[in-house]
């Protein structure tokens, strides 16, 4: 998959470097730090793969891929301030290095730069998809904030946050691949559905890795979600299927944002089969993502999209 995308992603990186330019040195410094700090680039790669799977021959997909990466990076900058995170992608977060105010303002710069690039595409459907996406992502951030320290939310509420906060940008990335190719709406919808299910699977596995991952591999501290009081799928399942005493331990940790009992909670999560349940949910989303691609013609890039949906579930980082 990586070799197939190598030339295109090199061009996306060139566009990113070019569009990061600002006359304000601190803006350049922070933007370049977070953009080049080891991200997987899955969302821009999705734009590229979707466009190429439809036979696109132009260059606009590189620009749109960079837009998606800028929007994603802006959300990371703001997320880390809200969550008071100090580690991301195995590096110090921007707010840990440069301060909260700088991180928020540079995030605003990246958002506004993304919108400048959208306008230059001169395509109202591009504007519609990306402006809707950024708005829904912001709603997802607020929903997640409302759910923090609340052990009484259900799986439906948890999934709603994922759909808004994470899957929405994956969906937009898939749609952009069709839009730059002027593909019919049913093809755009198919790639949007693919992105939405892919993004949902990706986030569920992210939440699993908070209880099963290696800090050096996942690039963040294991147990961070618990410390932030986030009622993720493994915890919700463990509370429902554990003993009353076990449920009480997890409830208290969520309510207080306390990870001091992480090892005990990890044992409860493992004993109740919560991680297996979450994996099954992610696998179901991956299957739906693959099914959405049935509308696309056979190609190497379609195969790469199928491979990506499998990677989203099997990854360890």
pLDDT one-digit tens code per residue, 122-157: 999 999 999 999 999 999 999 999 999 999 999 999
Tell me the residue ranges of DSSP E strands in the chain: 87-88, 91-92
Tokens found for residue 89: 């992608």
The C-alpha atoms of residue 236 and residue 152 are separated, in whole angstroms, by: 8
The C-alpha atoms of residue 165 and residue 181 are separated, in whole angstroms, by: 26
Residue (of 225, 194, 196) closest to 208 by Cα position = 225
pLDDT digits (tens, 9 = 90+) for 98-126: 888 999 999 999 999 999 999 999 999 99
Residue 35's Cβ-side half-sphere holds a number of Cα atoms within 13 Å equal to: 26
The single-letter DSSP state of residue 58 is S
The C-alpha atoms of residue 288 and residue 225 are separated, in whole angstroms, by: 27
Fold of 2-295+306-314: Farnesyl Diphosphate Synthase (1.10.600)
Higher pLDDT among residues 152 and 227, named by residue: 152
Cα dihedral: 133, 134, 138, 143 (round 10)? 10
**Mean per-residue pLDDT, 304-311:** 95
Residue 3: the pLDDT is 78
Residue (of 198, 175, 213) closest to 307 by Cα position = 198
Write down the pTM of the prediction: 0.92
The C-alpha atoms of residue 199 and residue 16 are separated, in whole angstroms, by: 22
Residue pair 149/256 in contact (Cβ under 8 Å)? The answer is yes
The answer to whether residue 218 scores a pLDDT higher than 70 is: no
The answer to whether residue 215 scores a pLDDT higher than 60 is: no
Q: What percent of the chain has pLDDT over 90?
A: 75
pLDDT digits (tens, 9 = 90+) for 141-197: 999 999 999 999 999 999 999 999 999 999 999 999 999 999 999 999 999 999 999
pLDDT digits (tens, 9 = 90+) for 195-214: 999 999 999 999 999 888 66
Higher pLDDT among residues 82 and 273, named by residue: 273
Residue pair 308/42 in contact (Cβ under 8 Å)? The answer is yes
**Mean per-residue pLDDT, 294-303:** 95
């Amino acid at each position: 998959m990586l070799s197939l995308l190598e030339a295109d992603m090199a061009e996306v990186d060139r566009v990113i470097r070019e569009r990061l330019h600002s006359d304000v040195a601190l803006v350049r410094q922070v933007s370049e730090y977070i953009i080049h700090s080891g991200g997987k680039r899955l969302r821009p790669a999705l734009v590229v793969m979707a466009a190429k799977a439809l036979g696109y021959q132009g260059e606009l997909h590189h620009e749109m891929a960079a837009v998606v990466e800028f929007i994603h990076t802006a959300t990371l900058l703001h997320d880390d301030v809200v969550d008071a995170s100090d580690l991301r992608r195995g590096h110090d977060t921007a707010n840990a290095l440069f301060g909260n105010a700088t991180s928020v303002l540079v995030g605003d710069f990246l958002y506004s730069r993304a919108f400048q690039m959208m306008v230059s595409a001169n395509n109202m459907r591009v504007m519609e998809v990306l402006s809707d996406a950024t708005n829904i992502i912001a709603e997802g951030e607020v929903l997640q904030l409302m759910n923090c320290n609340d052990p009484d939310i259900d799986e439906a509420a948890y999934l709603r946050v994922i759909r808004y906060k994470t899957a929405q940008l994956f969906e937009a990335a898939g749609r952009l691949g069709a839009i730059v190719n002027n593909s019919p709406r049913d093809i755009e919808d198919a790639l949007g559905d693919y992105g939405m299910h892919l993004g949902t699977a990706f986030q569920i596995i992210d939440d699993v890795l908070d209880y099963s991952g290696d800090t050096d591999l996942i690039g963040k501290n294991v147990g961070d979600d618990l410390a932030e009081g986030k009622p993720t799928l493994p915890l919700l399942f463990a509370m429902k299927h554990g003993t009353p005493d076990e449920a009480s331990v997890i409830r208290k940790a969520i309510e207080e944002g306390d990870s001091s009992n992480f090892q005990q909670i990890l044992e409860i999560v493992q004993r109740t089969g919560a991680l297996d349940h979450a994996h099954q949910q992610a696998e179901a989303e991956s299957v739906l993502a693959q099914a959405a691609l049935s509308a696309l013609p056979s190609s190497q890039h379609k195969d790469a999209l199928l491979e990506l949906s499998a990677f989203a579930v099997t990854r360890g980082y």
